[in-house]
Amino acid sequence: MTSETYYSNGKLLLTGEYVVLDGALSLAIPTTYGQSLEITSIDEPKLKWKSLDFENHVWFEDIFTLQKIATGFVNLRNDTSNRLLQILQAAKKLNPEFLNTSSGFDVFSKLDFPQNWGLGSSSTLINNIANWANVDAYKLLELTFGGSGYDIACAQHDRALTYQLSVKNEKDIIEVDFNPSFKESLYFVHLNKKQDSRQGIAQYKANTKDKAQVLNKISNITSEMLICTNLNDFEILLNTHEQLISSIIHQVPVKEKLFPDFKGSIKSLGAWGGDFVLVTSDVNPNSYFNSKGYNTIITYSDMIK
């Protein structure tokens, strides 16, 4: 029996949510959390799949015959099974030799963060399967979930990076040295619900407003953030970013909506309305957020690689 293991980093988008799709220069950071995929060969022509959560509990399992994957069969009762089969079949479309064997595999996929955190349970899975199938992860993403692809870049890189799409949808990915001197004043707070990024993207794309000026301003904020040396200037950049995105998606910024009395800055990360927000505070903000019912508060150093 042969065995192999793949691992992909989770993701957070510090700047450029939504507008990354239209070419804004955006700052993305891989997280210390991610997902692994362990594959062991077996004698049967089947794929025996188990997905484990961060507490090692099996939250999903199914068995697929290799023939079923090859024929493109999708009509299953379980949505998760359907989605997984779609990904495997898309990988096979990109590489017909994938799973073209008489023997099968035991597969264990394991997250090391809660699924509702929004750190990339889908993108880390896509990247792991792409590595296993020896295909381009960005093309596999395109055939399955869609999106800008910044999350795949985070899955593959161990440092912060700027991410920018060209008019021809080419990806400009540059690793950057983003290590703010004030990082001890940065925190990530989870809003207790997972936001559907595909739904958020659809709403954003439905907005036909001319975004060119906003795209340029967001790109400048990303560049400024990389050279920012003090917390006050950083907060101004965050606040300006929030107002710019608010003007495009017509949603109230999260601080104004949920935490108007908080003394620091609060910025949404990814699709607005859920997942993590970035918080700045000179003092530990745990008691403030705990009192509001938000108990998942992670320091910058614990979250970021």
Number of domains the chain is built from: 2
CATH number (domain holding residue 32): 3.30.230.10
Looking at the structure, tell me whether residues 244 and 282 fall in a common domain.
Answer: yes
pLDDT in tens, 188-217: 999 998 777 777 677 777 775 778 899 999
DSSP per-residue codes, the chain:
--EEEEEEEEEEESS-TTGGGGT--EEEEEEEEEEEEEEEEESSSEEEEEEE-TTS-EEEEEEEEHHHHHHT----S-HHHHHHHHHHHHHHHH-TTTT-SSSEEEEEEEESS-GGG-S-HHHHHHHHHHHHHTS-HHHHHHHTT-S-SHHHHHHH-SS-EEEEE-TT--EEEEE-----TTGGGEEEEE-SS---HHHHHHHHHH--S--HHHHHHHHHHHHHHHH--SHHHHHHHHHHHHHHHHHHHT---HHHHH-TT-SS-EEE-SSTTSSEEEEE-SS--HHHHHHTT---EEEHHHHB-
**Are 219 and 158 within one domain?**
no
What is the per-residue pLDDT for 75?
Answer: 66
Indicate if 184 and 170 belong to the same structural domain. no
pLDDT of residue 41: 96
Q: Can you give the pLDDT at residue 208? A: 58
Domain of 257: which CATH number? 3.30.70.890
**Residue 48: which domain range?**
3-174
Say whether both 257 and 292 belong to one domain: yes
Instruction: Let me know whether 170 and 260 are in one domain.
Output: no
* Domain endpoint, select from 141, 174, 207: 174
pLDDT at site 286? 98
Q: Are residues 115 and 154 in the same domain?
A: yes
Instruction: Give the model's pLDDT for residue 73.
Output: 74
Q: Residue 203's pLDDT is what?
A: 73
Cα–Cα distance measured from residue 7 to residue 36, given in angstroms and rounded to the nearest whole number = 4
Q: Are residues 214 and 275 in the same domain?
A: yes
pLDDT at res. 168:
84
One domain, residues 289 and 266? yes
> Do both 239 and 119 map to the same domain?
no
Residue that is last in its domain, among 174, 203, 228: 174
Same domain, 156 and 182: no
Final residue before a domain boundary, out of 136, 158, 174: 174
Q: Judge if 194 and 169 occupy the same domain.
A: no
Q: What is the pLDDT of residue 103?
A: 93
pLDDT in 10s for each residue of the chain, 305 residues: 689 999 999 999 999 999 999 999 999 999 999 999 999 999 999 999 999 999 999 999 999 999 989 987 776 778 899 999 999 999 999 999 999 999 999 999 999 999 999 999 999 999 999 999 999 999 999 999 999 999 999 999 999 999 999 988 899 999 999 999 999 999 999 999 877 777 767 777 777 577 889 999 999 999 999 999 999 999 999 999 999 999 998 899 999 999 999 999 999 998 898 899 999 999 999 999 999 999 999 999 999 98
Model confidence, pTM: 0.95
Q: 153 and 257: one domain?
A: no
Residues 207-261 pLDDT 10s? 757 788 999 999 999 999 999 999 999 999 999 999 999 999 889 999 999 999 9
